[in-house]
Amino acid sequence: MSTQNLLVELFVEELPPKALKTLGEAFANGVFNGLEKHHLVLRAEVVKLQSFASPRRLAVWIPAVLGVAVSRASSQKLMPTSVGLDAQGNATPALLKKLQALGADASAVAGLKRAPDGKAEALFFESMVKGATLAQGLQAALTEAIAKLPIPKVMSYQLESGCELPGWSSVSFVRPAHGLVALHGSDVVPVEALGLKAGRHTQGHRFEARISPVLLANADSYAATLEVDGAVIASFAKRRDEIARQLAQAAAKLGGGCKPIEDDALLDEVTGLVERPNVLLCQFEPQFLDVPQECLILTMKANQKYFPLLDATGKLTNQFLVVSNISPDDASQVIGGNERVVRPRLADAKFFFDQDRKKTLASRVAALDKVVYHNKLGSQGERSARVRAIAQAIGQQLGGAALAAQADQAALLAKTDLLTDMVGEFPELQGIMGGYYARHDGLSEAIACAIEDHYKPRFAGDALPRHQVGIVVALADKLETLVGMFGIGNLPTGDKDPFALRRHALGVIRMLSEADLALDLGALLRAAYAAFGDKLPADATTALEALQQFIYDRLAGSLREQGYSAREVDAVLALKPQRLGDVPKRLAAVRAFAALPEAPALAAANKRIGNILKKAPPVDPHVSEVLLQEAAEMALYGAMKSALPQADALFEAGDYTASLQSLAALRAPVDAFFDGVMVNAEQLDLRLNRQGLLQTLHNAMNRVADLSKLAA
């Protein structure tokens, strides 16, 4: 089997930069998978393939591709023998029709294989399938790969003159395609796509290519030839690394610990905008630094794709880096143009900031009543009132009247920055601008931070609110959203979660657990539900049960991601602990208990006890010593009288690990009890007493976690 390396390139007009990385990977994998389906490449080669993606091309290099796939034996089930052959063993019309469809005739009947297929015998047609040629396999692979590309938005365009396909007048693709390359070694593979025939020529940089068009001698010379003759770095990863290197180098030249802002999404987007990066240093007037740096950074990143420069303390400087797609000998015109373009953007930000500060946040509160939040849940003003009520209740519980008053004030003003010009222009700054405007209004730092932080945590790994006031308001805000949406039945489905309820649930979990708040989850949800008044159904049971389970499901997933085993998580969450701050301590206790030699036997016994009690009527956890007859049940009761008070005391003190470990002494008497005592005795009082003994033991063993979940 002779193999050669394969190169396929689709040359197009400028692709959407935010989608370029994904498109490049999807194109490469799609072509490879299509070739693998036709047995033209080995699965092991997937780790060696190289994908290329630049603003004007998608390409893939695949090693060791066959010119013709090896012929292979095929066994195809036809039909049950009873259907294909009559009583005399002759082929039925149904069998002959099936064979005809496979390109065979009645002469093939004698060679059919009979083999069991479930309960019946079936007929199988065995043949040698001729391997596909590379042209056949690549044509199918290319067509399928293009059809399955995750294109953000498809456009239709007319084919160029002379390229029109029969019956076609236009093509639909992400951008107009102008060239196709398919090289197997140094040979062109005769395939077509999007009205184009494959060749060995491509285009380089629009302005800086040394040769146009670029001639590709073979598949292996693609990247090097394109870089030298076409002035294009075809590899997305290599181009990204080059941009990062130049950014760091340019910042280092300035000294003083200066560094470009770190933003992987921006770096990916800029990588999708340039073919041969050239980083240039620019600056703007220092007076713009009076505007909050978040505003300036966002406008430079979002609107201009620039990289702002920060000093050693993380403060924004008046210099920024531009990634240009050209490298002129004199870059002054490029630098001047970018400085000229950014100036109006910064001026707009300064204007918005100055205008917004002419009105206090408090003066904007009434206008929230005119902003619709949800057609079933009312306006932002009504929502703000609910958040205030929930925040007051939480603040009162955590810090008394003083904290409740601060939380109420912060909740009152938390959404007012939605009405400012700056947030209207940059919604990403909601909360952040509220903090700045609160400080300008003379409010305390605690209130300003709470307004700024009440959206936190915004994403996985984000910091929690800095102060207790912020935690109270953030918790109230997320609870209001969760309870309101569950109350009206607006639940997330599949990958659709327009109100980010999963993220809100994880935020609630993190605040309750990481801040170790002395709050009961069920009570929180009920208090939040009550704040809605007649906006939600009077019966809260169904909605709150569903919401609580939703939160525990998110918590279970989060804990497993942190490295806890499924058994450990299931054991703790089976009890639905209401203090989420206790969950880490319970998990640590379960892990320590599971390491004890007595743990497997006690977990198995606990599971057995649970099964016995499930089959019995409701049992009173009460034991009468007078009714203890067997030595084993007396011994168990005696051991329980010694161990359980200690375990209970340790549990109440919050030492869950020691509480569980103290139960290890019960292993021997529990084993002896099950070996020597009939629980379901015929005598009613004996049976109830023994069940009461087990219920008492079961209650004590499952205070920290459901130990039966640890049983094998």
- State the DSSP code for 9: E
- Structural domains of the chain sorted by starting position, each given as residue range(s) with its CATH number in brackets: 3-69+133-230 (no CATH), 78-129 (no CATH), 236-356 (no CATH), 363-563 (1.10.3210), 585-710 (1.10.730)
User: Which three-class secondary structure state does DSSP give residue 331?
Assistant: coil
Cis-peptide into 213, omega within 30 deg: yes
- State the DSSP code for 580: G
Question: How distant is the alpha carbon of residue 301 from its chain centre?
Answer: 24
Q: Say how far apart CA 226 and CA 59 lie, in whole Å.
A: 12
Q: Say how far apart CA 178 and CA 692 lie, in whole Å.
A: 82
Please give the pLDDT value at position 168.
54
Is 524 in contact with 393 (CB distance < 8 Å)? Answer: no
Count of other CB atoms within 10 angstroms of residue 103 = 8
Q: Say how far apart CA 324 and CA 278 lie, in whole Å.
A: 5
Q: Say how far apart CA 227 and CA 237 lie, in whole Å.
A: 14
SS3 percent helix, strand, coil of the chain, rounded to 5, is: 55, 15, 30
Residue 350 token pair = 């300064």
Residues 6+ apart with CB under 8 A from 45: 32, 62, 63, 64
Please give the pLDDT value at position 707.
92
Q: Which amino acid is at 2?
A: S
CA angle 264, 270, 271 (to 5 degrees): 85
Residue with tokens 């007051």: 392
Q: Which amino acid is at 567?
A: R
Q: Say how far apart CA 476 and CA 394 lie, in whole Å.
A: 8
Is 490 in contact with 546 (CB distance < 8 Å)? Answer: no
Upper half-sphere CA count for residue 692 (Cβ side, 13 Å): 14
The pairs formed by 332-338 with CB atoms below 8 angstroms and a separation of 24 or more are 334/280, 335/280, 335/281, 335/282, 338/280, 338/282, 338/304, 338/306
Count of other CB atoms within 10 angstroms of residue 5 = 20
Is 410 in contact with 470 (CB distance < 8 Å)? Answer: yes
CA dihedral 464, 469, 472, 478 (to 10 degrees): -60
Please give the pLDDT value at position 51.
97
Please give the pLDDT value at position 381.
96
Angle, helices 468-487 vs 521-530, to 10°: value is 70
Q: Say how far apart CA 447 and CA 697 lie, in whole Å.
A: 50
Instruction: For residue 434, give the nearest of 459, 409, 458 by alpha carbon.
Output: 409
Q: What is the DSSP string of 642-664?
A: HHHHHHHHHHHTT-HHHHHHGGG
Q: Say how far apart CA 208 and CA 641 lie, in whole Å.
A: 88
Count of other CB atoms within 10 angstroms of residue 74 = 11
Residue 140 token pair = 């199918």
Q: Is 375 buried (19+), middle (13-18) or exposed (0-12) by CB count in 10 A?
A: exposed
Please give the pLDDT value at position 165.
52
Cα–Cα distance list, 625 to 545, 628, 645, 692 (Å)? 41, 5, 17, 11
* Beta-bridge mates of residue 496: 493
Identify the segments of the chain with pLDDT beneath 70: 1, 128, 160-169
* Beta-bridge mates of residue 68: 133
Q: Say how far apart CA 678 and CA 478 lie, in whole Å.
A: 53
- State the DSSP code for 133: B
Scored b (16 or more CB within 10 A) or e, 457-466 reads: beeeeeeebe
Compute the residue count for the chain.
Answer: 712
Q: Say how far apart CA 193 and CA 139 lie, in whole Å.
A: 8
Is 195 in contact with 12 (CB distance < 8 Å)? Answer: no
Q: Say how far apart CA 679 and CA 670 lie, in whole Å.
A: 12
Q: Is 336 buried (19+), middle (13-18) or exposed (0-12) by CB count in 10 A?
A: exposed
Is 364 in contact with 316 (CB distance < 8 Å)? Answer: no
Instruction: For residue 377, give the nearest of 547, 529, 541, 532 by alpha carbon.
Output: 532
Phi/psi for 612 (5° steps) reads -65, -45
Instruction: For residue 202, give the nearest of 186, 185, 220, 225 by alpha carbon.
Output: 225
User: Which three-class secondary structure state does DSSP give residue 54?
Assistant: strand
- State the DSSP code for 92: P
Residue with tokens 């130990």: 707
Residue with tokens 């400012």: 420
- The pTM for the full model equals 0.81
